[in-house]
A and B are shown apart, each in its own frame.
Chain A
Amino acid sequence: MNPAEWSWLPGVLTANDLSGYADTAVGIIFLIMVATTVIGGIIACSAERLVRAVAGLAACFIGVAAIYYYLNSPFVAIMQMLIYVGAVCIVIAFAIMLATPEDNKKPGPPGPLSGPLGLITAALATFGMIGLALNTMFKVHPKINMGAVKTIGVELLTTHSMVFELISMVLLIAIIGSLVIGRHGRSK
């Protein structure tokens, strides 16, 4: 792989005298990102304390944001941080804190997917993913616009304006719903 291709990544690469090490460095950084994502996801799924699960989720999101940055779209990466880590995780943690103390809770009975059925589902999903990954021709797309905000904005309001409007409808419904719930609680 040509190290010059990675010249946008600040910090590690690009110097010609380091070209021999650049590939290794890129690989190590990529592995760190993937490890953060996967380990965070595992913690989020398997932690007994809910707050730890949120911490794992945050780590997972940060790893995904790093991969976005690595894939040359800093805007998406920053948005991932801002929305998922900064808003979603905090709101989840907030909800956990306002709920009943988890020390008093007993784990419920295992669901229908917890036994061999779950294993089969997971195995199928894994094989599907591996098959997909092996059979896809990964094309390197040319760098278009450095993930420029302006392009994203124009696309959002022209090509994808329908999606944009639908999302705003969903948000409106969510706001009205929360207002209704809040109102209901207050009258009691």
Chain B
Amino acid sequence: MSLTIFNALVAVVAAIAFAALNAAYLVWAERRGAGRIQRRPGPNVNGPLGLLQPPADGLKLMAKQLTIPGGADKALFVVAPVLAMVPAIMSFVTIPFSDTIVAHSMNIGVLMLFAFASLGGLAILFAGWGSRNKYGVMASVRAVSQSISYEIPMLITVITIVMITGTMNLKDMVAAQAGGFWNWNFFPSFSSPLMPISFLLFFVCTLAETNRAPFDLGEAESELVAGFHTEYGSMGFGLFFMGEYANIVIGTSLMTILFLGGWNCPFGLYPGVWWFLIKVYLLIFSFIWIRWTFPRTTIYGLLNLSWKILIPISLFNLLLTAGLLKVF
């Protein structure tokens, strides 16, 4: 498939628009969900159900002055929020939302997603270091060690899926799960019996990789003020926020594609982009639910969970799947 300049522009604009819209309204959903879960009012003043809150917030952020603290490393300080947002937008290019809605279907789509996701760690590092703030540096050390240690079980789980489906093209992966829900990779009938555990593992890793509570050690506001974005105001902060929510959308999309059959209907009826979006937003809802229900872990608990529990389980699952695929 080849693209013209026009197609590429449309794809990029659509990706940015989708990311920005999601970021804005996921903040709204998050605050409403937080209010509901913790029995307090969320944003409910501006517009019906507070739906005009995100544009108001966006305008406020854009109208604010971008302040750069005196001792900061100016170049890194400015580059970091951009670096947080751009890889997220790049990742949208290869995600297939349905059979036809995909900007550029790559044969190595999974790898590309992870390649761009790994840039997020650099953004956090530069932000924390560039702002010359003790809290920022502490947070970036934490966030980077976290993202390094959770990338490993995540990638091993993805290798398991790649072995089962035999392709790295996200579109073909979904095609391999067509039909009813019993064909999804989540259900263990045709592959490894450990697939639901694998899904749980991937879910936990996505939570950790996107710096979400209970794993948001990078911005633990009760210990580190706001972590790596302590010094950021106005749209610098806004870009970090948008990047975070865009990463959540990408993570849940990846979960949907790898485990939950992408745009396939559970009962084989009317496959299409709506099923994809339903699954993605259900997963995002569970993210919000978890964030406002569980307390934050400690950094030791976080690293131990990855190195002592998740990595051994994912390796075992990899071996088991390889063995079962060889036998059957």
Contacts and interface: CB of A to CB of B under 8 A. Distances in A.
Q: Do A and B bind each other?
A: yes
Interface of A: 7-8, 10-12, 14-15, 18, 49, 51-52, 55, 58, 74-75, 78-79, 81-82, 85-87, 89-91, 93-94, 97-98, 146, 148-149
Nearest to B120: A86
B320 to A, nearest CB: 21
Given A12-B5, A89-B122, 19 more contacts: A8-B2, A10-B3, A11-B5, A14-B3, A52-B73, A52-B75, A55-B75, A74-B112, A75-B111, A79-B115, A85-B118, A87-B118, A87-B148, A90-B125, A93-B122, A93-B129, A94-B148, A97-B141, A149-B107
Contacts of A149: 107-108, 168
Contacts of B118: 81-82, 85-87, 90
B111 A93 contact: no
B305 interface: no
14 contacts: A10-B3, A11-B3, A11-B8, A12-B5, A51-B76, A52-B73, A82-B115, A85-B115, A86-B117, A87-B118, A87-B148, A93-B144, A94-B145, A146-B107
Given A79-B111, A85-B118, A14 B141 contact: no
A14 B2 contact: yes
Contacts of B168: 149
B107 to A, nearest CB: 7
B76 A18 contact: no
Contact of A90 (B3, B121, B137): B121
A68 to B, nearest CB: 12
A82 B119 CA distance: 9
Contact of A75 (B108, B125, B129, B145): B108
Contacts of A91: 148
Nearest to A9: B2
Shortest Cβ-Cβ A-B pairs, 4 listed? A86-B118, A11-B8, A81-B115, A15-B4
Contact of A97 (B111, B112, B140): B140
Interface in B98-139: 104, 106-108, 111-112, 114-119, 121-122, 125-126, 129-130, 137
A86 B115 contact: yes
Nearest to B129: A51
Contacts of B111: 75, 78-79, 82
Given A86-B115, A90-B122, A51 B73 contact: yes
Nearest to B11: A11
B79 interface: yes
Interface in B1-36: 2-5, 8
